[in-house]
Structure 1
Amino acid sequence: MHFLIIMSVLGITNQKATHGTKIDWWGTITLVIGFSGLVYSLNGSSYRLVAFIIAIVTLTIFGYIESKVEHPLMPLVVFKDNQRISALISRFFMLGASMSYFFLMPQALQRVFEFTPLMASISFLPLTVIQFIVSLYIPRLTARFSNTSVLISGVVVDTLGFVLGNVIGINSGYWWGVAFPMIFLGMGQGLIIGPATVAGVAGTSDEIAGAASGVVNTFQQIGGAVGLAFISAMVNGLNGADVIIDQAQFWMVVLAIIMTVAAINILRGKHE
């Protein structure tokens, strides 16, 4: 870790001297504080309201800084295109639901079915194998049906997977209550990830293409953290692993619905 910090400082310093660009330090600091406060406000043990207020204030300051600084960490022009902002929001909530599923379901499999950790990981093969296979066909599908069509199909199928998991319930058994919904989750996620990335950087100029790519990754990482924190807060205090995972999947459906609405919003075209 210390080595990485030292090399990062040296690398950033050299880049600054070569290209004459200044690092957006205040933007970086306010963004880190803002998102950290937001996540803590959802599942912290104390001072959650204070953390939320700090998050709102610092993120507001971050937005102001990005609108004024010469070389912004996150150029606000990225958010002026309807396709990009819709794709970013969709990706944010997709990762929120998916990260929660990948975190909570293995625990439920071990507690409800008494699977070993190894068996719990193997039990995800219906999702991961199908996701891998579907992702191989993305170039052909987008060439034939368009990137937006594939993305919207993916979010619909992914949402269906979460709905099936919630409606059927884990007490119906692994094959019916878990593996069957995983098929749709794998298909949906395989259809989403590539097209969502393309839509997130679509139409960017050479000057902001790198920043737009960074924004896509940021929304993905923060979406997963915020989504997991939110759903963990929603199931906090519940008793029984089956009750917890079923209730968690309900909230995953909620996040997936928002994901779907945001993806469909791409069809509206650009904002004026």
Structure 2
Amino acid sequence: MKANNSVEATENTKFGMTLVITLLSYFVILMDNSIVFTSSLQIGESLQLDSTHLAWVSNAYTITFGGFLLLAGRLSDLLGRKHIFQLGLVIFALSSLAIGYAQSAAMLIGARAVQGIGSAIIAPTSLALIMDAYIGEMRSKAIAYYGTTAGLGSSIGLLIGGALTSLFSWRVGFLINVPIALLLVVLTWRYIKDSETVNSKIDYWGSILSVIGLSSLIYSLTADNNGFWFAIIGIVFLALFYWREKSITLPIMPLSLYTHKVRFGAYITRLLFMMSVLPYWFLIPQMLQRAYELTPFGAGLAFLPMTIPQFMTALQVPRLSQYWKQSTIMMVGSALILLGLVATALIDIEQGYVLAVALPMIPLGMGQAMVVTTVTSAGIFDTPKELAGAASGITNTMHQIGGPIGLSIIVGLNALYSEGLLIMASYTAISMIIIKAFIMGRD
């Protein structure tokens, strides 16, 4: 290990600015993606985009975000968290500026792709920074807050995106990222110390294989045409990536991270969690606007029965952790998500918003807070410090690719509203089996 003005994590009683910086950065990138959900109709009308181009506003971001996560997470181990984190913030700020002033489909989609790279750097590095800065109970609490942010950023983004679109313009939702990201660059320079770096060469071939493999696989899940061939390309390159990582001594993604049953179970659970909830976040706002004729802002407000219980429950998860094991909280949360999805599927939307949507949102919000917090902690459970970035990258990769997989299955089956919700519920049921088999009794 080669130190560069390094600082060891210490047991403190105050979190300081590190937690503020990391949570705000993670919140912004998650919120930004949710803004697209509530603003997609307005974006299409503003730039006269057809359905194909409009889909690529989300797809371009998803592909680069998911494709670069493993590389970005490992680079933070090799080159130092602080500088990689600042690089991600600058890329995110500049691309957000370009999106806000985009006048064509090509400019908008291209900028969204670049923005995905910035987010891919920020997401795993922010979690690794938390692991560097805190130990013991402070680290557990900080990771709990990070997991809470993962859930709240997406749901609150629906509200903020709807408000900004209805009151101003969809462009404001992206332009607001610029001053926030630049402020975070300055705060990072001022308050976050340089981390230790691993004295190792970068596995360039592994990096290339992982980016091509993940990008192709994610594209296959969102493509209307040639999806099968891109899936084959993705699988082949990921197989080559696995062979590469297995055969070298200093891999970009240490396979040892998968040998731990708790971490492995957490990765699969995180994948299934996003397969369940992202299609919900994608479909419900559109249903609310069409069935109940709500505005984008109204659709965002309609998520409050989920957001408020999610926030209140998330605040209690650190306290619950003192009495229950993380796996128990995860299992209870999954059961609540299952209850909410099944109830939403079985209650006819003609029964009205309160009964058909709002009431089932309450257990959904509580369950999401319990799962995303604990599964984040499990994904980096017992991870060596020098592999923190890589473990964070895998955790965020599962988060990023799970949504497109879940949504593509529902779309591919031409599932109707209730049928789609029951498919989402089946993902959650499978995740409960995974939790029982790999995590419970070992955390």
Query: For the superposition of Structure 1 and Structure 2, which TM-score range results when normalised by the shorter chain?
Result: 0.7 to 0.9
Partner of 1:148 in structure 2? 327
Q: What is the CA–CA distance in structure 2 between the aligned matches of 1:23 and 1:269, rounded to whole Å?
A: 37
Alignment counterpart, residue 227 of structure 1, candidates 406, 410, 413: 406
Matched, 1:255 2:427: yes
Moved more, 113-122 or 206-215: 206-215
Q: What is the CA–CA distance in structure 2 between the aligned matches of 1:64 and 1:259, rounded to whole Å?
A: 28
Partner of 1:76 in structure 2? 255
Partner of 2:396 in structure 1? 217
Asked if the contact 1:83–1:269 (Cα under 8 Å) also holds between the matched residues in 2, the reply is no
Residue 254 of structure 1: CA displacement? 1.9
Partner of 2:300 in structure 1? 121
TM-score, normalised to structure 1, is 0.85
Letter of the 2:220 partner, please give it: S
Residue 19 of structure 1: CA displacement? 5.2
Residue 212 of structure 1: CA displacement? 1.1
Percent identity (aligned): 37
Q: Gapped runs of 5+ residues in structure 2?
A: 1-87, 92-113, 119-193
Partner of 2:386 in structure 1? 207
Residue 182 of structure 1: CA displacement? 0.6
Residue 129 of structure 1: CA displacement? 0.9
Q: What is the CA–CA distance in structure 2 between the aligned matches of 1:114 and 1:106, rounded to whole Å?
A: 11
Q: What is the CA–CA distance in structure 1 between the aligned matches of 2:371 and 2:347, rounded to whole Å?
A: 24
Partner of 2:84 in structure 1? none
Q: Deviations over 1:89-139 (max 9, x none)?
A: 111110121111111110011111111111111000011111011000111
Partner of 2:165 in structure 1? none
Letter of the 2:329 partner, please give it: V
Instruction: Give the 4+ runs in structure 1 shifted more than 6 A.
Output: none
Q: What is the CA–CA distance in structure 2 between the aligned matches of 1:162 and 1:145, rounded to whole Å?
A: 25
Partner of 1:186 in structure 2? 365
| SS of corresponding position for 2:322 | helix
Partner of 1:12 in structure 2? none
Greater relative contact order, per chain length (Cα 8 Å cut-off, separation 6+): 1
Q: Deviations over 1:29-81 (max 9, x none)?
A: 22222223223333422222211211211111111112123332221111111
Residue 229 of structure 1: CA displacement? 2.8
Query: What is the total number of aligned residue pairs between the two structures?
Result: 252
| SS of corresponding position for 1:115 | coil
Q: What is the CA–CA distance in structure 2 between the aligned matches of 1:269 and 1:143, rounded to whole Å?
A: 16
Cα 1:268/1:197, change in 2 over 3 Å: closer
Moved more, 109-118 or 218-227: 218-227
Q: Gapped runs of 5+ residues in structure 1?
A: 9-14, 239-243
Moved more, 197-206 or 67-76: 67-76
Q: What is the CA–CA distance in structure 2 between the aligned matches of 1:252 and 1:210, rounded to whole Å?
A: 30
TM-score, normalised to structure 2, is 0.53
Q: RMSD over aligned Cα, in angstroms?
A: 2.2
Q: Deviations over 1:189-225 (max 9, x none)?
A: 0111111111111122223233212211111112123
Q: What is the CA–CA distance in structure 2 between the aligned matches of 1:267 and 1:199, rounded to whole Å?
A: 8
Partner of 1:11 in structure 2? none
Q: What is the CA–CA distance in structure 1 between the aligned matches of 2:238 and 2:198, rounded to whole Å?
A: 28
Q: What is the CA–CA distance in structure 2 between the aligned matches of 1:49 and 1:211, rounded to whole Å?
A: 29
Q: What is the CA–CA distance in structure 1 between the aligned matches of 2:203 and 2:299, rounded to whole Å?
A: 43
Asked if the contact 1:162–1:256 (Cα under 8 Å) also holds between the matched residues in 2, the reply is no
